Amino acid sequence: MDKAELIKRNAEEIINEHKISKILKKKQPIVYCGYEPSGDIHIGHLVTIMKLRDFERAGFKVKVLLADWHAWLNKKGDWKFINSQVEKWKKAFKKIGLKNPEIVVGTSFQRKPDYMDDVFTLAASSTLNRGLRAMQGVARDIEHAKVTQIIYPFMQVSDLKALKVDVAVAGTDQRKIHMIAVENLKDIDYEVPVFVHMPLLTSLKGEEKMSSSDASGLISVVNSSAEIKKKISKAFCPEGKKNTVLEIARILIFPFFEKIEVKRDKKFGGSVKYDSYSKLEKDFLSKKLHPMDLKNMAGERLAKMFEKIR
C-alpha cells in the first residue's frame, strides 16, 4: 500500500485532499490528533490512533496533543483529576503501537501571549451561535453551555498553527470545529491543513454511536481480556449484515495485525486465514463466516491490543 493509500484508508471524509501530494513531498510533514485526557482510553480512541500509525508508516512525524486545558474548558474535571489523567495517558501512548510520537501537553504552549492572541483573533471573526454549533458534537451538557466551552473551538484551531500541523486527524464529530479553521485560519496567517475525519464506531448494542458514558456498549483499557471477549461475544452482530463487529475488524484489527486467522472447528470448515478485510467481509456477508466465529476473532485480537496498553 503506497503512502497516499495509507493516509486515506478507512477515512470517512478528507477535506483538502488535493493537498496530500504536495505535503508528501516535504521531508517530514506533521500530523496531529488531540485527546481530552479525562477518562480511560477506549476503543473509540483507537480509531484515530490506528490512523496515526498509518501516517507514521507514510513518513509523517506524529504529534499527540493531550489537551488538558480543553478538558477543563469542557467541564471534564478539576485540575487535580485532569493532571493525573495526563500522566496516565503519557504512559499509555508509550505502549500504544506508535514508534516515536511527540506527546505535547496543551498548557505547555497554550498559555503563551502569541497563542492567546490567535485565539482572540479567531473568536473576533465568529458569532456566539457559530461557537455553540461547533461544539455540538464534542461538548458536555451543551444545552447549558459555559463561556469556556465556546472558547474551546478557537483554541483547537489555534493549535493547528502552534503545532505546525500539515494534517489533522479527528473523528467526524470535530467537523464543525474544522470548518472554522477552513474559513478563518487566514486571520492568523496559517495555511489550512488537510483534515482526515475518521468514522465514529457504533455501540456494541448496535444502536447509536458508541459513548464513553455507556460502559456496557464500550470497551476500554480497564477491561480485562476476559471482559473484552465477553462484551464482544454479546455484541449485536446479525448474520450476513454489516454491523459493529465488522466495523471493528475493518477500522482497528486489520490495520494493526494486517493478517488474521479465524479459528474454527473442523466440522465447521476449519480455521481460515485472511490477508485483507474485504475478503473477510465478503465471507461474512455471504454467510460463509458465522457471527460467533467473527466475534471470537475480534474479541481475541482486541484483547491483545489492549493488553499492551494495560
- Nearby residues of 196 by Cβ (< 8 Å), 6 or more positions away: 7, 8, 11, 13, 14, 51, 167, 168, 169, 170
Whether residue 209 is contained in a domain is answered as no
Considering the domain architecture, whether residues 109 and 247 belong to the same structural domain is answered as: no
Whether residue 203 is contained in a domain is answered as no
Considering the domain architecture, whether residues 220 and 286 belong to the same structural domain is answered as: yes
**Residue 47 above 90 pLDDT?**
yes
Whether residue 126 is contained in a domain is answered as yes
Whether residue 224 is contained in a domain is answered as yes
Q: Which residue's C-alpha cell is 465478503?
A: 282
pLDDT in the model for residue 146:
79
Q: What is the average pLDDT value for the chain, to the nearest integer?
A: 91
Element (H, E) at 202: none
Q: Which residue's C-alpha cell is 473509540?
A: 44
Whether residue 206 is contained in a domain is answered as no
Note down the domain range covering 288: 215-309
Residue 220 DSSP one-character state: B
Whether residue 205 is contained in a domain is answered as no
Q: How many CB atoms lie within 10 A of CB 235?
A: 22
Instruction: Tell me how many domains the chain contains.
Output: 2
Considering the domain architecture, whether residues 53 and 185 belong to the same structural domain is answered as: yes
Considering the domain architecture, whether residues 298 and 187 belong to the same structural domain is answered as: no
Considering the domain architecture, whether residues 305 and 173 belong to the same structural domain is answered as: no
Cβ atoms of residues 142 and 135 within 8 Å: yes
**Residue 212 above 70 pLDDT?**
no
**Once rounded to an integer, what is the mean pLDDT over residues 81-95?**
91
User: To 10 degrees, what angle do helices 147-162 and 175-184 make?
Assistant: 60
Q: Distance between CA 37 and CA 82 in Å, rounded?
A: 6
pLDDT in the model for residue 267:
82
- End position of a domain, from candidates 198, 232, 255: 198
Considering the domain architecture, whether residues 164 and 269 belong to the same structural domain is answered as: no
Whether residue 174 is contained in a domain is answered as yes
What would the pLDDT profile of 141-198 be if each residue is shown by its tens digit? 667 777 888 899 999 999 999 999 999 999 999 999 999 999 999 999 999 999 999 9
Q: How many CB atoms lie within 10 A of CB 50?
A: 23
pLDDT in the model for residue 132:
81
Q: Which residue's C-alpha cell is 505502549?
A: 95
Nearest of 91, 90, 112, 115 to residue 103 by alpha carbon: 90
Neighbouring C-alpha atoms within 13 Å toward the C-beta of 14: 16
Q: Which residue has the higher pLDDT, 214 or 162?
A: 162
Considering the domain architecture, whether residues 193 and 254 belong to the same structural domain is answered as: no
Whether residue 210 is contained in a domain is answered as no
Q: CATH number, domain at 94? A: 3.40.50.620
Considering the domain architecture, whether residues 111 and 144 belong to the same structural domain is answered as: yes
